[in-house]
Structure 1
Amino acid sequence: MARISLDCPNPLPGIPQSVLSVPMENKYKCQQCLQVLRKPVQAQCGHRFCVHCFKLLTSCGPKPCEACRQEEIYEEPFSILNSNEAQHEDRCEFERMPCEACQTSILRTEKERHDERECEARTLNCKYCKTTFNFKEIKAHDEICLKFPLQCKDCGKKKIPREKFTEHSKLCAKSKSACPFSDVGCKYVTDSGKLGDHEHGSTMEHLRLLLPMVLSMSRTRAEAPGQGEWQEDSGLGLYRAPEEGAATETGAAASMQSVDVEKKANQEKIENLSNKVRQLERTVSMRDLQLSETEQLLRELQFCTYDGIFVWKVSDFARRRQDAVAGRTPAMFSPAFYSSKYGYKMCLRLYLNGDGTGRGTHLSLFFVVMRGKCDALLKWPFSQKVTLMLLDQNNREHIIDAFRPDVTSTSFQRPISEMNIASGCPLFCPLAKLAGKSPYLRDDTIFIKAIVDLTGL
């Protein structure tokens, strides 16, 4: 039906049916004047009126529709004539409208999704360095982002920030390095951490490579002009070298050359030893890193569950909250848990000094969908009900909040990075409830429980 404003000037009642040469269908008849609709409007109940008739009917405010009464379908509140009905058009969800950024025509109902996920001109934050930029520039930004994760081709380690990749390459135990004796002909190349084994097992080979250089240096010294030998002096012909003063000078020069050779050899030894020390330091650093990663994996396996139910013990509460207040560690993540062995991977994010509207007054607790190994087999978007609880350690009155995911939000789509944007409860628990002798905080420890409804999986 065409858009007609109720404020049109000098409205007239319906057009007489006598102007028609064929019978008129009932849907074209005004329910008030019973004539052909002139500038029709549709009431909230669905009946059609001329704009003139509709204004007369609703001049004293909303009132029941007489046509509904006559058809015996009168039912509050759906058969009320509403003078504000025409205003629906200004906010109709199925109206097409241009995107302010890219000018693409979209339905009003799709605006939020378009702005968030589809608009080519939208701005977004880099998920690695949080820099704001235009969507079209994402590939160019990834090429220079200092926080962009890279993978070491030598050791296979992933998620190394670009700004730390050079340092990692120097310390990587599996990076390829040439033998320190490559200058004298050794072609051996191996992992940096294994060079020591090669040097220890190839001593004889390295000595054989050094032997020609040592003999060449000895030969050079032996062939140096000696006492009484003939020497060529350009422009003056041949002459016999002086036998006394020259001999002294020659001996001094030879002595100096010997000292230089010895210094050079000692310098090479020092450099070789320094290289070995640096290699040992790199090896120790890599072992420490591997040990740390192994300990982290063991901690995750220790707390991991596969039934959608997870209890998170947060100890050392006072210190952790102090770190949150000071801004050193505003948020902390729980270990991961799963809906089943091959199901959704999830975790919790906790702000001990609140986040957003809860900053400084509440504990803020959020639910995070993570990227799992079996995501390709799961149903997306994630739509399971989530219940979050702060447990009363007297087991009397737990603090509980629950929500069903908004399936249009990016928080519950299939993850394309390590984890989606967190979603949950900024005002989960007032901090006042943790003061004094709180049943929720005992022995400097709180317990948080998450329950994922597995119905339908």
Structure 2
Amino acid sequence: MASLACSSSYDSCQYGGYSFKFVDDDPPNEYLCHICTLVARDPQQVSCCSNIYCKSCLDTLKEKGQRFICPTCRSSLKRKYMYFKDGRVERGIKSLKVYCTNTDSGCQWTGTIKDIDTHLNSCTYHELVPCTNGCGEMIRRSKLETHLTDNCPKRIVNCQYCKRRATHQLITSCSHLDECPDLPIQCSNEGCDEKIPRRSLASHEETCPKAIVPCEYNTVGCHKVMRREEQEKHNEEAIKQHLKAAVKKIEVLLPTNQLFKLNEYTELKEEEEDWYSPNFHTSPGGYKMSLNVVANGDGDGEGTHVSCFINLEAGEYDDLLEWPFQGEVTIELLNQLEDKNHKKDIVTYNESTDDEYKHRVSGGRSTAGLGFMQFISHEELEHNPATNCQYLKDDSLYFRVSVKVTSTSKTKPWLVRSAI
């Protein structure tokens, strides 16, 4: 079906006939204009041969300034009354049944040419109206509702993930999708096919079996990296290495120096009493021992010197340790005036040391202490201006003890972890 040049009233068009799609058969030839060959609009009959023409077609022919003659019989039409409006033909044409010009858009109306202008004034498939959401599009009235609910970029919708309400244009834009907390994001770990809401991505990374992670014992020296799902197998295969590394790390981190204060020196000296420090371990899960100080001296040092000895004690980890004990224990009596000129001696446990000093103690404290009967003379304890030394002050002495274990194997590594 051809379309006409005018867009509102078909009878107000300036040129040519009707190009409607007719409901019945093609219209009779007597209704056709012999110039435009369409159904004549405002039909005029020429008196020379009685043929029908559109008035606009004849007027256009006349205005061309050439010979104004009948296109059919070639007779002159310049004389008055050579053509006139044919009312009978017009009534016949107006009664022809046609389809709405918006049939292809979905309009089902049919009616006469006489009524089509009235129909087009209200045809929902004919008029273009602006989108009421303000998107700028012009929509046929019949499709406006569908546009507003399904197609308009400014229609209000819910995000399918986070349920936020906003315009479709915003919800589908990068500005929203780049921030949407519930947008499914593909896990970045190779081999993991899960898509996780953005808000849960961080927690998923902490548990993803495909994530590359360091060994759980990396802080103690195991530098292997693996997938999280491989950790358990690695821990089982490397348990001995991990235990050794853990023990070594603990020994490095924890202090090896023990500081003790001996109070009431004068009373201990006069009463000839032994003083024992609180017991201590050489390391976590290590050998247990204590410092024994005899203020008035013992053996060759009695009455003239302070004697110092190291006594092994029965410890809770002795089953895990190598015996006899071998190592070096450094005993220092601290100068209380400045950090130098401390009195120091080293007690050595080796293969030549008598067994009574280095063997495992069955219970309590060993009665045999290894050390020095003449550790320091009583006179040296007093203030010495020449060396700026004073070991005895306020009737107190300070001792510092450090241990270096030299046993072939300090511990049994397959047991020490459970003990610690």
Give TM class, smaller chain: 0.3 to 0.5
The structure with the largest alpha-carbon Rg is 2
The TM-score with structure 2 as length reference comes to 0.39
The TM-score with structure 1 as length reference comes to 0.36
The answer to which structure, 1 or 2, has the higher relative contact order (CA under 8 A, 6+ apart) is 2
